[in-house]
Structure 1
Amino acid sequence: MFTGIVQGTAEVVAIQEAEAFRTHVLALPAELREGLVLGASVAHNGVCLTVTAIDEERVSFDLMRETLRVTNLGAVKEGDRVNIERAARFGDEIGGHAMSGHVMALAELVELDEAPNNRRLWFEVPHALGRFLFDKGYIGVDGISLTIGQVQPATVDHGPRFCVDLIPETLVRTILVDRVPGDGVNIEIDPQTQAIVETVERVLQAREI
């Protein structure tokens, strides 16, 4: 389990490619390695990955075919940075919202509005996810717990869209500061929202039968 409170970023210092498989080696800062062991879960851009090797600051993680297909980690290059969150521990403060680290889809950054001391980003998601978007609802973007500002329904020209507003602290601590229109970000829908929407859909469908 994760909370969407990104603890920092780490550089991908090596990538080992194989067929439908790759290994990312990250240079994790000391504060993010404290107590880290083989088999531990660490979120990269919101994707839950398992520690497979530790060599001082160099920590390795394997990415399977499905991870490469669904997320933006397959496009990561050596020298890129990723958002990092260690798995939540019992008793930790939950400053964001409960997240599983299971990315549902990619969204495209379609518009960026700059303003003093903050930044508004508009994302377009696949049509199937539009029913989970609500004004002031929670959403995970590249592993960051964010509040949806506004929602735009799908039109004949584009899919469903939502925006988030980022404060300076979020820009300092995460890679969203470097995102530009056209970039793809990992999306995880709030699990509670998903459960409520799908339950209501099933009840309504049963009443129609």
Structure 2
Amino acid sequence: MTRVLVVEDDPPIGSELVQALVGGGYQVSLAATGGGALEQARQSEPDLVLLDLGLPDVDGVLVCRRLRAVLPQAVIVVLTARTQEFEVVVALDAGADDYLTKPFRLTELLARLRAHLRRQSPPRQERSVSVGRLSLDLLARRVLIAGDEVVLRPKEFDLLAVLACHAGEVVTREELMDQVWDVNWFGPTKTLDVHVFALRRKLGDYGEDPRRITTVRGRGYRYEADL
């Protein structure tokens, strides 16, 4: 049974989330503070974490970063009332895989969780792919740029792998959502744009030109084979 940790300090919201998840067949634990979340994460090793960013004891972004260190393979979805895009990017950089802005519908939340849990395999079965200075080992899920290993979050790796496997070709937004998230993805695709933004910045941090990932207006994105 999939284990879910809900981190929410508002009792009515926390109770509603727990009831919905238990009804969906998940094994659920609840924490109301950042400290409690980290303690439970170490004890129960959840497969998935729902993390409210507005916690009473520790900033939610810091909790997210610490949870990612404790749970490198878990799916972390942040729940936030913060609507500024840079705040969402900070949470994604801290290790979150996705976010939902409050208020949200429980049906959308449950659909997203199912989508994330289904996406646990590499987008292609080839062992490796190389484009210029970039090399990806798809089975080991490692990325190298000119021999230096790049640290990426799971969705960032999946996104880069799809683009690199189709280097020089346009990959539509729909195809990226299908392959990186899920064919039955429920909700807006803004999370794709945020992940592309974060991925470009990380490539730049390792000396790769962020323009390698080109936006093709009205279509999607292309990883440039030559630049």
| TM-score normalised by L of structure 1 | 0.32
| TM-score normalised by L of structure 2 | 0.30
Give the number of the structure with larger relative contact order, counting CA–CA contacts within 8 Å between residues 6 or more apart: 1
- The structure where helix makes up a greater share of residues is 2
